Amino acid sequence: MFIEPRVGTSLAASRRGWIEVVCGSMFSGKTEELIRRLNRAKIARQQVEIFKPALDTRYHAEDVVSHNANSIRSTPVAVPQEMLLLAGGCDVVGVDEAQFFDESLVEVCTQLANRGKRVIVAGLDMDYMGKPFGPMPALMAVAEFVTKVHAVCVCCGEIASYSYRIAASEDKILLGETDSYEARCRPCFLEGMKEKAVEPISSAAKH
Ligand code: ADP
Ligand code: MG
């Protein structure tokens, strides 16, 4: 269980910011954990702003919604720079589906933390091929706290770290739900990729 650092103190007064990353596969509880942390910050009377990429409209145009229907009001943004303008007065910044943003998210989160804000970023650490996804690896490197959460493998019941794509599309970004992806453990992911006759994790493959 992640214990929030100094959640009850006034962040603005301390001017001490930091970055937390919550990562894992699809269905691993990233959004649930993000909402949990943000709700606790609200209970501590901190000003909270939540952002998500404008392209992620799966459940709701403005809310961040978890697979078990928890939700919190958010602001969709097209590019990370918008967050610098919109997060001016808040103590805590939440970002969901961070993997869909470009690399500039790393600089934006760093700037927000340098300004004394607590920045909590949730996102997929790997894409459907098992490769590091977008800005996530760099965010994990610069974060003070990294939490990797796990789903349950739908094939065998072990802990799952991979998002196995059932749908045939080869686009890197395919917004989808239970009908497009499955949470799988390593052996069951590899088994599925073998069946698809696709090389899963190749160091030669480009991102
Ligand atoms: P994420 O943001 O990581 O995709 P969410 O926080 O939206 O995940 O949803 C997590 C919820 O998904 C779980 O609490 C559970 O109700 C549901 N769920 C559906 N399939 C699975 C699975 N294979 N493993 C774990 N949880 C699952
Ligand atoms: Mg999510």
The tens digit of pLDDT for each residue in 4-18 reads 765 555 555 567 999
Instruction: Please tell me the residue having the least CA distance from ligand 1 atom 23.
Output: 152
Does the pLDDT value for residue 193 go beyond 60?
Answer: yes
Does the pLDDT value for residue 19 go beyond 60?
Answer: yes
Q: CB of 89 within 8 A of CB of 27?
A: no
Backbone angles phi, psi at 161, to 5 degrees: -115, -5
Query: What pLDDT was estimated at residue 198?
Result: 55
> What is the spatial distance between Cα 205 and Cα 126, in angstroms, rounded to a whole number?
14
- Would you state the structure tokens that stand for residue 204, as one six-digit string? 């030669």
Amino acid sitting at position 121: V
Looking at the CA of 95, name the nearest ligand.
2
Query: What pLDDT was estimated at residue 64?
Result: 86
Nearest atom of ligand 1 to the alpha carbon of 35: 6
Mean pLDDT of 57-84: 85
Residue 70 or residue 135, greater confidence: 135
132 DSSP 8-state letter? B
* Of 200, 147, 158, 146, residue with least CA distance to 183: 158
Query: What pLDDT was estimated at residue 174?
Result: 66
Query: What pLDDT was estimated at residue 169?
Result: 66
The tens digit of pLDDT for each residue in 104-158 reads 999 999 999 999 999 999 999 999 999 999 999 999 999 999 999 999 999 999 9
Hey, what domains does the chain have and what are their CATH numbers? 13-150 (3.40.50.300)
152 lines ligand 1 (CB under 6 A): yes
pTM: 0.89
Nearest atom of ligand 1 to the alpha carbon of 29: 6
Active site residues: 97
Nearest atom of ligand 1 to the alpha carbon of 32: 6
Rg (CA), the chain: 17
Q: CB of 50 within 8 A of CB of 73?
A: yes
- Alpha carbons within 13 A on the beta-carbon side of 9: 13
126 lines ligand 1 (CB under 6 A): no
> What is the spatial distance between Cα 112 and Cα 17, in angstroms, rounded to a whole number?
8
26 lines ligand 1 (CB under 6 A): yes
Residue 57 or residue 110, greater confidence: 110
Q: CB of 5 within 8 A of CB of 41?
A: no
158 lines ligand 1 (CB under 6 A): no
* Of 79, 77, 175, 76, residue with least CA distance to 128: 175
Instruction: Please tell me the residue having the least CA distance from ligand 1 atom 15.
Output: 68
